[in-house]
Chain A
Amino acid sequence: MAISLTENAAKHVQNFIAKRGSGIGLRIGVRTSGCSGMAYKLEFADEACSDDLQFSSNGVTLLVDPKSLPYIDGMQLDYTREGLNEGFRFNNPNVKNQCGCGESFGV
């Protein structure tokens, strides 16, 4: 069981955390909401919770709560540019369907 991020994503995350001035890593998870059932959560992490699962990928610490992990296990986080827009993309092998915009998904 693991999640990871690409080298490019790691570079951006490290840069964002450095500019923010604090944070131990990224918190990744899922929530039940949205039109297709689930939605991703992507936040700066200031502290780890006791039951958090921790992964390290390309030098970035990723924190995942145990309930979320089954939905995103094996996922790789990437950072891409689409025209003027840029941001993180979740490459999640567990997704069976997702809404048009991809912001919410089902497994």
Chain B
Amino acid sequence: MALLQISEPGLSTAPHQHRLAVGIDLGTTNSLVATVRNGISVVLNDENGRALLPSVVRYAADGSVTVGEAAQAAQSDDPANTIVSVKRFMGRSLADIGEISRMPYRFADTPAGEGSKQAGMLQLRTVAGVKSPVEVSAEILKVLRSRAEDALGGELVGAVITVPAYFDDAQRQATKDAARLAGLNVLRLLNEPTAAAIAYGLDNAAEGVYAVYDLGGGTFDISILRLSRGVFEVLSANGDSALGGDDFDQRIHCWLLEKNRLSALNPQDTRLLLTHTRAAKEHLTEHGETRITAMLSTGEVVDNILTRAEFQEMSQNLVQRTLQLMRRALRDAKLGVADIKGVVMVGGATRMPQVQHAVGEFFGQTPLTNLDPDKVVVLGAAIQANLLAGNRGGDEWLLLDVIPLSLGIETMGGLAEKIIPRNSTIPTARAQEFTTFKDGQTAMSIHVVQGERELVSDCRSLAKFELRGIPAMVAGAARIRVTFQVDADGLLNVSAREMGSGVEAAITVKPSYGLSDAEITRMLQDSTQHAQDDMQARALREQQTEAQQLLEAVQHALEQDGELLDQAMRAKIETRMGALRDTLSSSDHLTIRRATTALNDSTVSFAQKRMDKSVASALSGKNISELEDK
């Protein structure tokens, strides 16, 4: 009979309705699968008791495919048909990949605009035909799927697959496509650091702000998370999708080439040496030095001793780069090193002593390594999969996300006023008060924009709506409260309300719609590159707006109380108004400011006269003759 697992209270499944779900860590170097069994997340091993499946796929001429250890063993002999680290090619075009010449593969670029989803994406020519990275990844997923189905004794309802936090839309879509090709139902793609936090948060139930330092085979991710009462809140995320343990291998590889005066190796020798460098790197984790020996196909012999100190020296700037990204993530979260309660280490590359040491020094504390860094991510993914499959009730937890770009509205002069700054956690709500620009203004157009730039024209327009029925008042008297609300699904709700009369208008938009991670990155980069220009532009627009407001006010005053002025005064004011109008199109805000100040100065006595007049009319009927005597 079937073997049963213990369920949570009240959640026993009906016969034949087990909701088997797994978490999958589709890694650059190794992949794993895990599930929650008897309430505990466990990694599923293969029939030989191995948890890690090397992410290596080999295609043979007869069309057969080998995955894992067997394929890895063949990579020196058949490098062109043995695909390693395919994750780096997911959702990428040839142009995205650097160092192509160093790779032993024959690439093909799918022409763009072929109408297929993978148009523009790179492909690999193998002896079994042209394969896309999606197909190669699907082979890895198929092996994990059958391992899981054997281990669980049934078909899977779905899987949670982890991806680096910095994967863009194309890379995420490619991952989903690979899963579909492997016959897996994707319950959700989960960011790797978040999965690690789930594994640690639940297993250790520790509260506080944590940094997740994930140095895998090919990717680096840093996330700042807050864990409290079982709620994971992502404060900020940063990373580099092309930095990982492979780069450390590459450093040793280059060192070997230099040391032995080797140039341009054939693919087979490149692969052979990389296999040896990886082994050397792993050996140095436990030992002070390692010996690398290899016989190349040319008959040349490589035989070198590499010490840990030498390795640390040559990989120092890689480690420094991770620390730089960490600093940036901390800055985005507005936190200092002292705010970090613990550092979670994820990824096999964090076993390297120099990495642990550098991270420990940076944070002034020993990083957490009590869960296996290779398994942390998949264990968390399994917990999430179990939850999404409906095998766990009650104390569900919320996964909070951050807003990638600031949200705001357009103010006079085409300036963007930020209301919710970027990296704010969702759900969130912020309100700000605005006022009318003109006397008697009864409507206000609200233009919702997204982006980091100062000018609306440089930001992305999300929506426009109008608040009507504002009671007529003098400019600046109306109080219009604009509220931005972003719910847990990332939906933005903007409402505007005139506080005096209570008139209201609202709109709902989805800010991230149609904006890929790449576009977000570009918009962020633009904002830093153009910071100086933007400041100038903002100052200019503000000055222009102020000038226009002054011109309108003076014009209005002249029409109403022009008779209070003598000819000379009036002429002077009108000249200066003309001068200010002429400067409006100037690109120098100081010129406009000077003209504005000049006009302002010339109207001081006029303003006084108007004040006196209004005081007089206010007091009329009381003692007007006395006032006139003065």
Chain A interface (Cβ within 8 Å of chain B)?
12-13, 16, 19-21, 26-27, 31, 33-35, 39-46, 80, 82-90, 98-99, 101-104
Question: Which one, B125-133, B149-157, B435-443, is touching chain A?
Answer: B149-157
Q: Which of A12, A86, A102 touches B1 (beta carbons < 8 Å)?
A: A102
Given A16-B38, A43-B9, A85-B151, does the pair A80, B16 have CB atoms closer than 8 Å?
no
Does B327 sit within 8 A of A, measured CB to CB?
no
Besides A87-B2, A88-B6, A89-B1, 17 new A-B residue pairs in contact (Cβ under 8 A), listed by A number: A19-B40, A20-B40, A31-B12, A33-B14, A43-B7, A43-B9, A44-B9, A45-B9, A82-B153, A84-B44, A87-B3, A87-B37, A88-B4, A101-B1, A103-B1, A103-B2, A103-B16
Given A89-B1, A98-B1, A101-B1, does the pair A44, B7 have CB atoms closer than 8 Å?
yes
Contacts of B1 in A (CB 8 A): 89-90, 98, 101-103
Of all chain B residues, the one with the shortest Cβ separation from A38 is B15
In the complex, what distance in Å separates the CA atom of A33 from the CA atom of B13? 10
Of all chain A residues, the one with the shortest Cβ separation from B45 is A84
In the complex, what distance in Å separates the CA atom of A84 from the CA atom of B153? 8
Does B208 sit within 8 A of A, measured CB to CB?
no
Does B310 sit within 8 A of A, measured CB to CB?
no
Q: Which of B106-147 contact A (CB under 8 A)?
A: 147
Of all chain B residues, the one with the shortest Cβ separation from A104 is B15
Contacts of A35 in B (CB 8 A): 15-16
Of all chain A residues, the one with the shortest Cβ separation from B39 is A20
4 residue pairs, one from A and one from B, having the closest CB atoms: A102-B1, A87-B3, A34-B15, A103-B15
Q: Which of B1-35 contact A (CB under 8 A)?
A: 1-12, 14-16
In the complex, what distance in Å separates the CA atom of A103 from the CA atom of B13? 10
In the complex, what distance in Å separates the CA atom of A26 from the CA atom of B8? 10
Instruction: Tell me how far the C-beta of B432 lies from the nearest C-beta in chain A, rounded to whole angstroms.
Output: 45
Instruction: Tell me how far the C-beta of B503 lies from the nearest C-beta in chain A, rounded to whole angstroms.
Output: 53
Contacts of B46 in A (CB 8 A): 84
Does B489 sit within 8 A of A, measured CB to CB?
no
Q: Which of B441-481 contact A (CB under 8 A)?
A: none
Does B559 sit within 8 A of A, measured CB to CB?
no
Instruction: Tell me how far the C-beta of A75 lies from the nearest C-beta in chain B, rounded to whole angstroms.
Output: 12
In the complex, what distance in Å separates the CA atom of A104 from the CA atom of B15? 6
Q: Which of A33, A43, A104 touches B11 (beta carbons < 8 Å)?
A: A43
Contacts of A33 in B (CB 8 A): 14-15
In the complex, what distance in Å separates the CA atom of A26 from the CA atom of B150? 26
Q: Is the CB of A44 within 8 A of B39?
A: yes
In the complex, what distance in Å separates the CA atom of A31 from the CA atom of B7? 14
Does B62 sit within 8 A of A, measured CB to CB?
no
Q: Is the CB of A101 within 8 A of B14?
A: no
In the complex, what distance in Å separates the CA atom of A42 from the CA atom of B5? 7
Given A20-B39, A43-B11, does the pair A84, B6 have CB atoms closer than 8 Å?
no
Contacts of B2 in A (CB 8 A): 87, 101-103
Instruction: List 23 interface pairs A-B (beta carbons < 8 Å), by A numbering.
Output: A12-B38, A19-B40, A21-B205, A31-B12, A39-B12, A39-B14, A40-B4, A42-B5, A43-B7, A43-B9, A43-B12, A45-B9, A82-B3, A83-B150, A84-B147, A85-B152, A86-B3, A87-B38, A89-B4, A98-B1, A101-B2, A103-B1, A103-B2
Of all chain A residues, the one with the shortest Cβ separation from B40 is A19
Contacts of B40 in A (CB 8 A): 16, 19-20
Question: Which label, helix, strand, loop or mixed, suits the secondary structure of the A interface?
Answer: strand
Contacts of B6 in A (CB 8 A): 13, 16, 26, 42-44, 88
In the complex, what distance in Å separates the CA atom of A104 from the CA atom of B7? 16
In the complex, what distance in Å separates the CA atom of A49 from the CA atom of B151? 34
Contacts of B38 in A (CB 8 A): 12, 16, 87
Does B47 sit within 8 A of A, measured CB to CB?
yes
Q: Is the CB of B12 within 8 A of A42?
A: yes
Instruction: Tell me how far the C-beta of B7 lies from the nearest C-beta in chain A, rounded to whole angstroms.
Output: 5
Q: Which of B143-181 contact A (CB under 8 A)?
A: 147, 150-153
Of all chain A residues, the one with the shortest Cβ separation from B47 is A84
Q: Is the CB of B5 within 8 A of A87?
A: yes
In the complex, what distance in Å separates the CA atom of A35 from the CA atom of B16? 9
Instruction: Tell me how far the C-beta of A28 lies from the nearest C-beta in chain B, rounded to whole angstroms.
Output: 10
In the complex, what distance in Å separates the CA atom of A96 from the CA atom of B5? 23
Q: Which of A16, A34, A88, A90 touches B39 (beta carbons < 8 Å)?
A: A16
Of all chain A residues, the one with the shortest Cβ separation from B152 is A85
In the complex, what distance in Å separates the CA atom of A35 from the CA atom of B1? 14
Instruction: Tell me how far the C-beta of B165 lies from the nearest C-beta in chain A, rounded to whole angstroms.
Output: 28
In the complex, what distance in Å separates the CA atom of A50 from the CA atom of B39? 25
Instruction: Tell me how far the C-beta of B208 lies from the nearest C-beta in chain A, rounded to whole angstroms.
Output: 19
Q: Is the CB of B15 within 8 A of A99?
A: yes
Of all chain B residues, the one with the shortest Cβ separation from A95 is B1
Contacts of B150 in A (CB 8 A): 83-85
Of all chain B residues, the one with the shortest Cβ separation from A18 is B40
In the complex, what distance in Å separates the CA atom of A71 from the CA atom of B4? 17
Q: Which of B44-94 contact A (CB under 8 A)?
A: 44-47
Contacts of B45 in A (CB 8 A): 84
Instruction: Tell me how far the C-beta of A87 lies from the nearest C-beta in chain B, rounded to whole angstroms.
Output: 3
Given A12-B38, A20-B39, A35-B15, does the pair A88, B5 have CB atoms closer than 8 Å?
yes
In the complex, what distance in Å separates the CA atom of A101 from the CA atom of B38? 20
In the complex, what distance in Å separates the CA atom of A64 from the CA atom of B11? 16
In the complex, what distance in Å separates the CA atom of A82 from the CA atom of B1? 11
Q: Is the CB of B15 within 8 A of A39?
A: yes
Instruction: Tell me how far the C-beta of A57 lies from the nearest C-beta in chain B, rounded to whole angstroms.
Output: 15
In the complex, what distance in Å separates the CA atom of A26 from the CA atom of B39? 12
Instruction: Tell me how far the C-beta of A10 lies from the nearest C-beta in chain B, rounded to whole angstroms.
Output: 13
Q: Which of B3, B11, B147 touches A80 (beta carbons < 8 Å)?
A: B3
In the complex, what distance in Å separates the CA atom of A83 from the CA atom of B12? 24
Instruction: Tell me how far the C-beta of B346 lies from the nearest C-beta in chain A, rounded to whole angstroms.
Output: 21
Given A16-B40, A101-B16, does the pair A89, B3 have CB atoms closer than 8 Å?
yes
Contacts of A27 in B (CB 8 A): 9
Contacts of B147 in A (CB 8 A): 84
Contacts of B7 in A (CB 8 A): 41-44
Instruction: Tell me how far the C-beta of B247 lies from the nearest C-beta in chain A, rounded to whole angstroms.
Output: 35
In the complex, what distance in Å separates the CA atom of A53 from the CA atom of B4? 22
Contacts of B15 in A (CB 8 A): 33-35, 39, 99, 101, 103-104
Of all chain B residues, the one with the shortest Cβ separation from A40 is B4
In the complex, what distance in Å separates the CA atom of A33 from the CA atom of B14? 7
Given A34-B16, A89-B3, does the pair A84, B151 have CB atoms closer than 8 Å?
yes
Instruction: Tell me how far the C-beta of B51 lies from the nearest C-beta in chain A, rounded to whole angstroms.
Output: 12
Contacts of A88 in B (CB 8 A): 3-6
Contacts of A41 in B (CB 8 A): 7, 12
In the complex, what distance in Å separates the CA atom of A43 from the CA atom of B628? 96
Of all chain A residues, the one with the shortest Cβ separation from B150 is A84
In the complex, what distance in Å separates the CA atom of A59 from the CA atom of B16? 31
In this complex, the member of A21, A82, A86 whose beta carbon has the largest number of chain B beta carbons within 10 angstroms is A86
